[in-house]
Amino acid sequence: MTDPRSDDHATPLPAPPGPGQVAAIRPGLLWVRMPLDGPPWHVNCWLLRDGAGWLLVDAGIDRPGTRLAWDSVFATALGGLPVTRVLITHFHADHVGLAGWVCERFGAPLLMARTEYLQARLLLLEAPATLLAEQAALGEAAGAPADYLRHLLARRPFYRPDVVPLPLHHRRIAAGQALRVGDGDWTLHRGGGHAPEMMLLHDPAGGVLIAADQVLPRISPYVGVFPPEPEADPLADFLDSNHHLLALPADTLVLPSHGDPFLGLHDRIRVLAAHHAERLALLEAICATPRTAYEASRLMFQRDYDMDQMLFVIGEGLAHLNWLVARGRLVRMRGADGMALYGPPG
């Protein structure tokens, strides 16, 4: 992909801001980058001038360093104005982590889609040991080896250590709604597959899309199966909601949660679709001989992964297998030991 800064977009794009700093995408639209302690190593958050304050989009994960970076942004970059609303695109910890902390600090309301809010509240209420045990059960049913299951059960718990408790009230937002922010009219779109009801914000007049994790410039967004719905088909939802985004103008400036702002929305959507089509064809060939989900996933990715990444390998493998099963290109059957095997139909 070409460097978007070399494109003749009306305003040249700024370099990524350092921790605790902001970069202006345009007046009244600020870019903040918060650190993460694993890939993709950072998450982008956005501040939109909202009358006598700012609307914050996404809050970063709860770490002492992230809180310090926000202290600096709030003290230096907002012209003395408060955060008046906090909008969270989806329930993942790197986006929602500090939402409760920012809301409390400014007395600001939380805006979230219903499914995303409920999912976050549910995960915060679930005992961390249960979340790990459920993930291990999904891995075991997929045929993952015992050392991976042991590793999983001994690892740092998911979610609760990374997310400040959420406010007990929220303002529901949903696809199709208009959102007035300052002088601007934004339209909300739904992204699916990576998260169930991810909110994307489009500013038609300014030609800007805050894309959350739906369309990322370099990496393919994670699309995986989670324990509560082992036969889910998130890949269909992902591809379908991306397809809907093709209705937005091709010259839309995309502000992704990970990576740098870019032009080329339509091209990127087509590249992502081709990538998954290739993976699906490969997996179908791999399963000409019936295999467990674990075996098939390892072969699909064609490289080695460490124990921490295995959860995503299995989750993404299952997403592709379920897509193929739902369309009759593979069947799910029981092996002699009761383990699910994926093989050719007929």
The binding site for Zn ion (CB under 5 A) comprises 94, 213, 257
Rounded least distance, CB 120 to Zn ion, Å: 13
Coil, strand, or helix at residue 297?
A: helix
90 vs 170 by CB, closer to Zn ion: 90
86 vs 321 by CB, closer to Zn ion: 86
User: What is the C-alpha to C-alpha distance for residues 273 and 231, in angstroms, rounded to an integer?
Assistant: 21
Coil, strand, or helix at residue 127?
A: coil
Rounded least distance, CB 345 to Zn ion, Å: 36
CA angle 123–126–130, rounded 5-degree value: 115
50 vs 94 by CB, closer to Zn ion: 94
DSSP 142-180: TT--HHHHHHHHHSPPSSGGG-PPPPS--EEE-TT-EEE
135 vs 257 by CB, closer to Zn ion: 257
Rounded least distance, CB 234 to Zn ion, Å: 15
Which distant-in-sequence residues (6+ apart) come within 8 Å of 196 by Cβ?
A: 115, 116, 119, 237
Q: How many CB atoms lie within 10 A of CB 225?
A: 24
162 vs 213 by CB, closer to Zn ion: 213
Residue nearest Zn ion, CB atom distance: 213
Rounded least distance, CB 101 to Zn ion, Å: 18
75 vs 219 by CB, closer to Zn ion: 219
Rounded least distance, CB 213 to Zn ion, Å: 4
DSSP 4-41: GGGS--SSPPPPPPPTT-EEEEETTEEEEEEE-SSTT-
Rounded least distance, CB 115 to Zn ion, Å: 16
